């Protein structure tokens, strides 16, 4: 599938290996930024995309940054809607003990393109029976 993208830097998000699910996304910064421990920063990427209806882009953390430096995404997983035409930004948080510097072009997150379903609700007072029923939150043990 071919998807339109505008990129301020000319660099596009890219799969780093053949089997990568996510394309690494880079920071687009005039000056480096430093995120202090416990702080967050909305990092610009300089890209905007035009996804077809029925697709979303999921913005996920990079595990290397998480494990080495405690860097995560404030919103867990970011959702890029198919009708969003603005710049994609990454809400990053520093859970680690050291200040974390981000420079222009650093690979700060990854983007997975996924299909989704749109549904219609059938409002009801009865749901189908299952073995699990309303058991959850560890009811099978840990
Ligand atoms: O990590 C993210 C998450 C969202 N967005 C952009 C694209 C997305 O389509 C839009 C709205 O995101 P979301 O629906 O998660 O935020 P909201 O708080 O519900 O805002 P809105 O009322 O604009 O939908 O913001 C990003 O650039 N990065
Ligand atoms: Mg929303």
The full set of domain ranges for the chain reads: 4-115
The answer to the question of whether 64 is labelled as a binding residue is yes
Name the residue at shortest CA distance from atom 1 of ligand 1.
78
Gap between the Cα atoms of 40 and 36, Å rounded: 8
Over residues 1-24, mean pLDDT: 97
Residue 127 in this model has a pLDDT that exceeds 90: yes
- The verdict on the CB of residue 40 being under 6 Å from ligand 1 is no
Band (124; pLDDT cuts 50, 70, 90):
very high
Q: What is the CATH number of domain 4-115?
A: 2.70.40.10
Q: Which residues contact 61 (CB under 8 A, 6 or more apart)?
A: 71, 72, 73, 109, 110
* CA 103 to each of CA 54, 64, 79, 112, 141: distance values in angstroms, whole numbers, following the listed order: 34, 16, 24, 23, 45
Per-residue pLDDT tens digits for 69-123: 999 999 999 999 999 999 999 999 999 999 999 999 999 999 999 999 999 999 9
Band (142; pLDDT cuts 50, 70, 90):
confident
**Total count of residues recorded for the chain:** 142
Most ligand 1 atoms within 8 A of CB, residue of 47, 50, 81 to mutate: 81
Percent of the chain at pLDDT > 70 equals 100
């Amino acid at each position: 599938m071919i998807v339109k993208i505008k990129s301020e830097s000319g660099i596009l998000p890219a799969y780093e290996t053949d089997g990568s699910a996510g394309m690494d996304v880079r920071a687009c910064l005039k000056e480096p930024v430093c995120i202090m421990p416990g702080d967050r920063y909305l990092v610009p990427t300089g890209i905007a995309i035009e996804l077809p209806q029925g697709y979303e882009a999921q913005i996920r953390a990079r595990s290397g940054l998480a494990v080495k430096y405690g860097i995560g995404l404030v919103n867990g997983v970011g959702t890029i809607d198919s009708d969003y035409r603005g710049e994609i930004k990454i809400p990053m948080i520093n859970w680690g003990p050291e200040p974390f510097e981000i420079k222009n072009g650093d690979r700060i997150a990854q983007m997975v393109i996924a299909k989704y379903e749109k549904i219609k609700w059938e409002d009801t007072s009865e749901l189908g029976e299952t073995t699990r029923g309303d058991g959850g939150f560890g009811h099978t043990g840990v």
